[in-house]
């Protein structure tokens, strides 16, 4: 029985096809695969804190070195406070002095209040004897009104008003006299008055001299008599001239104005006398003076208390400055740089130390504008660094810039710097503390 076999060429063709297909698949597997994942590069960063003194001073001690770990509140350095200590002593002494002044002022105030109380008691006792005096007064014939109709306070108010009116009238009378004295027609009369007054004085002196010379040598008596006779003659002449000047119009105006001035002055004095007579009890001058003394003493107490507050404020300022001489760590971190040594003098604001919080590391990378949509907040990414080959770290996206910018110059490739990019900020997860600021890192977004 015979079998039909395929021809040899066909078998060879099939074998070639099978081996060719297998070889193609093997070649395809050996070719490098094109990875379309989004990658970017950046530098590990940490929040850095510059430690700088607020006051100038000499460095006494620095308690940390570069690389030391510190916790919040740890003392980093101290400045010399000898000058401020001396100022604090002076301020403390000023405060003690101010407190002593308050004690003295309060004692004086207590004394003045006691004196006021005594003056008030005495004035009220004096007034009690006068309260019914008006009941016994006879009514004046000029007006039909009993004296007791008005109380002492009402009478005092009335006489105070009269005193004001009397003072106004006194001012007007004085001005009127000055007006008449300045008139040309009054000149002769005023000169005659002055001459008569001078002649009277010379006559009285000459008379006294003659009296003393009566019991002396005759030559002295004769000289004294001659001087007396001359003085009397001058007085008589001055008297005649004065009497002649009295008939002038100017003399009449001046004499009338003088009389009015004297009357106005007496009116003002009488009103003052009435007021003083009515000022009893609470209105007594002694009580009012004692009250003013109390007010002055209490004002002195207030002033002394203000001095205490000022001294306390000065002391508080110095205490605050002393506290600023000790610089402490504001947060946990690691000392990155130390720029000072004990004995150096630092200025306010000059950076002495730099701290970094290595527990909060970040990484900023830039992605092209056409791949911006592949990144989302909270997205977990892979990070690798050259210092730890073969080890992968994770990070989370915490910020995505909302505006594009020209690629920063620190981007790794020239091609990347020719496009606009978006900044992506990541927070690194590094529980073992392997990563350090400044390490270059590569990021792969999955």
Structure-token match 């940390």, residue found: 64
How does DSSP assign 261-272, residue by residue?
A: HHHHHHHHHHHH
Q: What CATH class has 31-50+340-445?
A: mainly beta
Domain coordinates of the chain in residue numbers? 31-50+340-445, 131-136+147-279
The one-digit pLDDT tens for each residue of the chain (446 residues) are 444 555 555 556 544 655 555 555 444 555 555 557 888 999 999 888 999 999 999 999 999 999 898 999 999 999 999 999 999 999 999 999 999 999 999 999 999 888 888 777 776 666 655 554 555 555 555 555 555 445 666 777 887 888 899 899 999 999 998 888 888 677 888 888 899 899 999 999 999 998 888 877 888 888 989 999 999 999 999 998 888 888 887 888 888 888 999 999 988 888 887 766 666 555 667 777 778 888 898 999 999 999 999 999 999 999 999 999 999 999 888 898 999 999 999 999 999 999 998 888 999 999 988 888 889 999 999 999 998 998 999 999 999 988 888 766 555 555 555 578 899 999 999 888 888 888 999 999 97
Distances (CA, A) of 315 to 56, 88, 94, 309, 319: 19, 6, 9, 10, 6
Task: Concatenate the DSSP letters of all residues of 282-340 into one string.
Answer: GG-HHHHHHHHHHHHHHHHHHHHHHHHHHHHHHHHHHHHHHHTTEEE-SSSEEEEEE--
Identify which of 113, 121, 106 has the alpha carbon closest to the alpha carbon of residue 294.
113
CA distances (Å), origin 52, targets 62, 79, 333, 334: 13, 12, 16, 16
**What's the maximum distance between 2 C-alpha atoms anywhere in the chain?**
216
Its sign, for the CA torsion 37, 38, 43, 49, is negative
Contacts of 270 (CB under 8 A, 6+ apart): 166
Q: Residues 11-26, buried b or exposed e (16+ Cβ, 10 A)?
A: eeeeeeeeeeeeeeee
What's phi and psi for 335, nearest 5 deg? Answer: -75, 115
C-alpha distances in Å from residue 345, one per residue of 61, 78, 203, 233: 12, 12, 92, 98
- C-alpha Rg value of the chain to the nearest Å: 57
Q: Which residues contact 181 (CB under 8 A, 6 or more apart)?
A: 190, 254
| Planar angle of CA 162, 166, 170, nearest 5 degrees | 175
């Amino acid at each position: 029985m015979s079998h039909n076999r395929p021809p040899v060429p066909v078998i060879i063709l099939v074998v070639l096809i099978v081996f060719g297909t297998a070889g193609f698949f093997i070649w395809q597997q050996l070719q490098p695969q094109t990875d379309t994942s989004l990658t970017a590069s950046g530098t590990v960063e940490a929040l850095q804190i510059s430690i700088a003194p607020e006051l100038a001073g000499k460095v006494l001690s620095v308690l940390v070195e570069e690389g030391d770990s510190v916790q919040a509140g740890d003392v980093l350095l101290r400045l010399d406070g000898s000058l401020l200590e001396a100022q604090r002593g002076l301020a403390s002494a000023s405060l003690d002095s101010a407190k002593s002044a308050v004690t003295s002022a309060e004692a004086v105030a207590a004394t003045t209040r006691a004196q006021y109380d005594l003056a008030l008691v005495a004035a009220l006792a004096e007034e009690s004897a006068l309260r019914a005096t008006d009941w016994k007064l006879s009514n004046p014939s000029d007006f039909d009104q009993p004296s007791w109709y008005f109380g002492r306070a009402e009478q005092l108010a009335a006489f105070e008003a009269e005193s004001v009116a009397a003072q106004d009238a006194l001012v007007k009378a004085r001005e009127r006299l000055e007006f008449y004295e300045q008139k040309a027609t009054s000149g002769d009369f005023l000169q005659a008055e002055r001459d008569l007054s001078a002649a009277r004085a010379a006559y009285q002196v000459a008379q006294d001299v003659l009296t003393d010379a009566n019991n002396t040598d005759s030559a002295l008596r004769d000289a004294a008599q001659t001087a007396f006779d001359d003085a009397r003659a001058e007085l008589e002449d001055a008297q005649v001239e004065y009497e002649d000047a009295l008939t002038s119009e100017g003399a009449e105006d001046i004499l009338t104005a003088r009389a009015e001035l004297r009357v106005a002055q007496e009116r003002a004095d009488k009103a003052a006398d009435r007021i003083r007579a009515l000022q009893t009890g609470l209105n007594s001058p002694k009580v009012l003076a004692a009250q003013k003394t109390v007010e002055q003493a209490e004002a002195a107490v207030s002033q002394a208390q203000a001095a205490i507050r000022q001294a306390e404020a000065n002391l508080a300022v110095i205490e605050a400055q002393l506290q600023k001489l000790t610089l402490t760590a504001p947060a946990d971190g690691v000392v990155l740089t130390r720029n000072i040594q004990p004995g150096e003098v630092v200025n306010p604001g000059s950076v002495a130390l730099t701290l970094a919080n290595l527990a909060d590391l970040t990484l900023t990378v830039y992605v092209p504008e056409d791949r911006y949509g592949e990144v989302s907040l909270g997205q977990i990414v892979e990070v690798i660094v050259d210092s730890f080959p073969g080890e992968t770290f994770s990070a989370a996206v915490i910020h995505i810039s909302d505006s594009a910018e020209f690629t920063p110059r620190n981007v790794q490739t020239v091609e990347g710097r020719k496009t606009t990019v978006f900044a992506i900020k990541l927070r690194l997860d590094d529980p073992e503390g392997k990563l350090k600021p400044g390490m270059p890192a590569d990021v792969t977004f999955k």
